[in-house]
């Protein structure tokens, strides 16, 4: 796709929120990117328009059959005022894997990245600059055909919205409490768990809300079949440091292949730290803890980058990890990743892309 992106600028720019009040995904910039898909024209009419409500036929398939996928990535401002994207090509590849699973037509990743860069440059003034803040980028695709038959839609919209987001940890990195979910299931082999599809998150809301009520910040999912093997956290992949080795669940068709996960694996490898991607049971974690070998646990994801886990609850069992303190690997990974993302550290693997 080498189509020209048409641009219509807002005549009513909005007030930008205070840097301290940003939170996550609550404020949106003045413009958005859109393009349409029809069977006849493929993806067409790429355009940047003022952020505004979508006009959606009530019979639009997305409302009824949830045919929708999304991505999430961030732009960071460097100390020299440059803006950097972090591995956007990986998000685009995952978007197309999600599309494939959901029966949504492929998009040109390069073109969408170009659209994102154009959009960010237009809303440049919205990029927050305080430490830890960033611009969250949310591309998503929704089925727009007005028809109640259960099948692939014949029309879609791809939309990109931008949200200035606050520091995930206002007081620096802080360990979280996580509940291991043993009744509800998020995804199963043969399903859509490896896709970033709307329906996966709908399936997770109830367990997440129960966890919150119990004082946990997230849910750790177990496999659907035996409720034995560790999958991932609500919106993070998970890593364990046991007896000097770092272990993370292997990509198995039911967990999301995180961009941060891949980057952590590459960093650990480059530091010559032994890493295993494999099946790991929750029992193994509790046993490692009993033997005094459970050294660190951390989640990885775009929102928090690295999220140290201080406590894990599994039914009536509990482990306190590294005395509830941030472990050295978590800290080093966090510092290195955020260092690369914000241009503080060199980027030997060319993970960042200027906007």
Ligand X SMILES: Cc1ncc(COP(=O)(O)O)c(C=O)c1O
CA separation for the pair 83, 215 (Å, rounded) = 37
Structure token digits, residue 2: 């080498």
Residues 6 or more apart whose CB falls under 8 angstroms from that of 11 comprise: 50
Place of tokens 């003045």: 30
**What character string, x for contact with ligand X (CB under 6 A) and - otherwise, covers 261-280?**
x-------------------
| Burial of 13 from C-beta contacts in 10 A (0-12 / 13-18 / 19+) | middle
Supply 135's token pair: 């611009």
Site for ligand X in 13-52 (CB under 6 A): none
> Binding a second copy by CB under 8 A: which of 91, 235, 260, 330?
235
Q: Which is nearest to 49 in space by CA: 29, 65, 69, 67?
A: 29
By a kind-dependent CB cut-off of 5 to 8 A, residue 151 interacts, out of a second copy, ligand X, none, with a second copy
To a second copy, the closest distance from the beta carbon of 197 in angstroms equals: 6
Contact positions with a second copy (CB under 8 A) in 70-129: 70, 101-103
Per DSSP, the residues of 109-155 read: HHHHHHHHHHHHHHTGGGS--STT-EEEEEEEEEE--B--SSS--SE
At 253, list the tokens.
């068709």
**What are the tokens at 114?**
């170009």
Min. distance of Cβ 204 from ligand X in angstroms?
Answer: 8
Binding mask 160-179 for a second copy (x = CB under 8 A): -x-x----------------
CB-nearer residue toward ligand X: 187 or 242: 187
Q: Select from a second copy, ligand X, none the partner in contact with residue 236, using the beta carbon and a kind-dependent cut-off of 5 to 8 Å.
A: ligand X
CA angle 86, 34, 17 (to 5 degrees): 65
Contact 138, 69 (CB under 8 A): no
How far apart are the two ends of the chain, measured CA to CA in Å? 19
CB under 5 to 8 A by kind: which of ligand X, a second copy, none does 168 bind? Answer: none
Select the binding partner of residue 39 from ligand X, a second copy, none (C-beta < 5 to 8 A, by kind). Answer: none
The structure tokens 């768990």 sit at: 193
Interaction between residue 300 and ligand X (CB under 6 A) = yes
Q: CA-CA distance, 109 to 89, in Å (whole number)?
A: 7
The binder of ligand X chosen from 98, 153, 218, 235 (CB under 6 A) = 235
CB of 225 to a second copy, least distance (A): 5
DSSP annotation of 70 reads E
Q: Which does 28 bind (CB under 5 to 8 A by kind): ligand X, a second copy, none?
A: a second copy
Among 148, 170, 292, 346, binds a second copy (CB under 8 A): 148
Candidates 98, 153, 302, 341; binder of ligand X (CB under 6 A) is 302
Contact map string, positions 19 to 48, toward a second copy, x by CB under 8 A: -----xxx-x---x----------------
Backbone angles phi, psi at 77, to 5 degrees: -90, 135
Q: Of the candidates 142, 219, 256, 297, which one interacts with ligand X according to CB under 6 A? A: 256
* Cβ atoms within 10 Å of 251's Cβ, excluding its own: 15
Which residues here bind a second copy, judged by CB under 8 A?
24-26, 28, 32, 51, 53-59, 62-68, 70, 101-103, 136, 138, 140, 142, 146-152, 159, 161, 163, 183-192, 197-206, 208-209, 212, 224-225, 227, 234-235
Which residues here bind ligand X, judged by CB under 6 A?
72, 232, 235-237, 256, 258-261, 300-302
């Amino acid at each position: 796709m080498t189509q020209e992106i048409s641009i219509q600028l807002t005549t009513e720019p909005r007030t930008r929120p205070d840097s301290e009040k940003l939170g996550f995904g609550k404020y949106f910039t003045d413009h958005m990117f859109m393009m349409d898909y029809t069977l006849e024209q493929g993806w067409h009419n790429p355009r940047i328009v003022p952020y505004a409500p979508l006009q959606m036929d009530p019979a639009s398939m997305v409302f009824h059959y949830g045919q929708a996928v999304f991505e999430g990535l961030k732009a960071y401002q460097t100390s020299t005022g440059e803006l950097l994207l972090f591995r956007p090509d990986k998000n685009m590849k995952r978007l197309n894997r999600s599309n494939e699973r959901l029966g949504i037509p492929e998009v040109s990743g390069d073109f969408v990245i170009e659209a994102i860069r154009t959009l960010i440059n237009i809303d440049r003034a919205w990029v927050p600059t305080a430490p830890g803040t960033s611009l969250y980028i949310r591309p998503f695709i929704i089925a727009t055909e007005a028809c109640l038959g259960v099948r692939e839609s014949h029309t879609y919209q791809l939309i990109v919205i931008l949200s200035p987001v606050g520091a995930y940890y206002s007081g620096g990195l802080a360990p979280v409490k996580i509940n291991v979910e043993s009744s509800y299931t998020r995804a199963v082999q043969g399903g859509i768990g490896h896709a970033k599809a709307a329906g996966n998150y709908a399936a997770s809301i109830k367990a997440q809300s129960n966890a919150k009520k119990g004082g946990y910040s997230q849910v750790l999912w177990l496999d659907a079949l035996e409720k034995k093997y560790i999958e991932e956290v609500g919106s993070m992949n998970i890593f364990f440091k046991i007896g000097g080795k770092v272990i993370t669940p292997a990509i198995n068709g039911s967990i999301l292949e995180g961009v941060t996960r891949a980057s952590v694996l590459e960093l650990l490898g480059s530091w010559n730290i032994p890493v295993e991607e494999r099946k790991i049971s929750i029992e193994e974690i509790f046993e490692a803890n009993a033997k005094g070998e459970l050294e660190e646990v951390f989640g990885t994801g775009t929102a928090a980058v690295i999220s140290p886990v201080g406590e894990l609850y599994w039914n009536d069992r509990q482990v306190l990890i590294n005395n509830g303190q941030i472990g050295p690997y978590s800290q080093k990974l966090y510092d290195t990743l955020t260092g690369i993302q914000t241009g503080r550290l060199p980027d030997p693997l060319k993970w960042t892309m200027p906007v």
